[in-house]
Amino acid sequence: MKIKNFFHIILLLLIIFFLAKVPRYENTLLQLSKNTKIERDYSIFSDEALLILDSSNLEDNLYIKELKKLDNIWLGNTYTYDEAYKKNSDFKWLEDDSEEYNPKYSREQREIEYNKSTAYFIIDDKKEIYGLSEDEIKEMLNISSLKLENPEKYIRKNGERARLTQFSQDLFRKMLKISDYYNSDKFEKENTTTAKEVNKLIFLRNIMFIYLGINLILCIISLFKKYKNIKNLEKYMEVKEKRIWLLYGLDFLTLFIYCTFTLFTKLETVIELEKFIFYYIVVKNFLLYYYLKLSKKKFRKLIVISYLILIFISIFITNIRINNIFYYLLYFFSILYFPIKQKLKRMVLIEPLYLITQLFYLAIVYLWLYRLM
């Protein structure tokens, strides 16, 4: 059982890890001085050099390798021509095009001119000095060591112009109906049109985080808890698992019908089915404790009663419009009802199949409420 819970923990951590990446904003601009800034570049390839140093005092854009802020002075290191050529595909394409279409182009001379500004630099409000060596910087600033850091640290802390990450843009481009390139202001956090939609997704993700976090805590408690009579517990879980698999079967049937209707029917029908699924989930979650506790005969009766309740809801609760927050809270509380009722003693919530179906249901609930708004 402990091994089983250990794998549950791994599963939960992986889901939480990937959920944390979607949707997410990142800063794309860091102003070093009035005339100089660092901007984030986007690439369809796995480029390393993606932070561009843009200054009115430079003929070429440089690519940032390391950065550090010392009082009000910015110190940094940039990639050489050869490094930028290998680590940024856009830079490589521009150079290759120049070599192919410009008869006066000389790769050797171009590299010499470009490298005059690379290596270390100093930037503050009064001056900008490029092409320095490490020893020259130490001497100018009268310091014994120079430990530069990952520039992402400063962009996260001091940057501005928050924009959806490239991964998030690729994922939600169709949903947000945006065909623009990655640096479009439509992906920015301040954009009133798209930010509203993204905030809905973030709200859903945060609910998932809470749910997964509770499951993770339950798993960890179960991993270290010592059961006095492990044989009786295993027999108990074996009996209950038969009922759980029956509930999984009903879940599978419900999801199968939903997917079929989604593919072959009109949107209005799908929305009505999503409403039914929402109440199905809520009723099932609230009754899960009793599903597992009652005798076999009463268990069957409760299944029938639950579907009668659903039919009643579907017929009589049709045009009532309630704030969407209420639906989310009701759904969330229905998930928590079982561990609260059980006083966190049984761990049915952390069964992987139960967890996965709940995530599917949460996505359906979100789509339904998203269409209603």
Q: H-type helices in the chain, by residue range?
A: 2-19, 81-87, 89-101, 107-115, 134-141, 151-158, 166-176, 192-224, 230-264, 267-293, 296-316, 324-342, 352-372
Q: What are phi and psi of 75, to 5 degrees?
A: -115, 145
Q: Are 328 and 207 in contact (CB under 8 A)?
A: yes
Residue 242 to residue 221: CA distance in whole angstroms: 24
Domain assignment present for residue 215? The answer is no
**Same-domain status, 152 and 32:** yes
Q: Are 54 and 65 in contact (CB under 8 A)?
A: no
Domain assignment present for residue 364? The answer is yes
Give the pLDDT of the chain (373 residues) as one tens digit per residue. Answer: 556 666 667 766 777 776 776 677 888 899 998 889 999 888 777 677 788 898 988 888 899 999 999 888 999 999 999 998 888 888 888 889 988 888 888 989 999 999 998 899 999 888 899 999 988 988 888 888 888 999 989 998 889 998 888 877 777 776 667 776 777 777 888 887 777 777 777 776 776 677 677 667 766 766 666 554 444 444 544 555 566 666 667 777 776 777 777 667 666 676 777 777 777 777 777 777 676 676 767 767 777 777 777 777 666 665 555 566 667 677 777 777 766 666 544 444 445 556 566 666 766 666 666 665 5
Domain assignment present for residue 193? The answer is no
Domain boundary among 120, 144, 164: 164
Residue 38 to residue 27: CA distance in whole angstroms: 11
**Same-domain status, 145 and 241:** no
The predicted model scores a pTM of 0.58
What Rg value do the Cα atoms of the chain yield, rounded?
Answer: 29
Domain count along the chain: 2
Residue 274 to residue 286: CA distance in whole angstroms: 18
Residue 128 to residue 114: CA distance in whole angstroms: 16
Residue 209 to residue 211: CA distance in whole angstroms: 5
Domain assignment present for residue 328? The answer is yes
Domain assignment present for residue 178? The answer is no
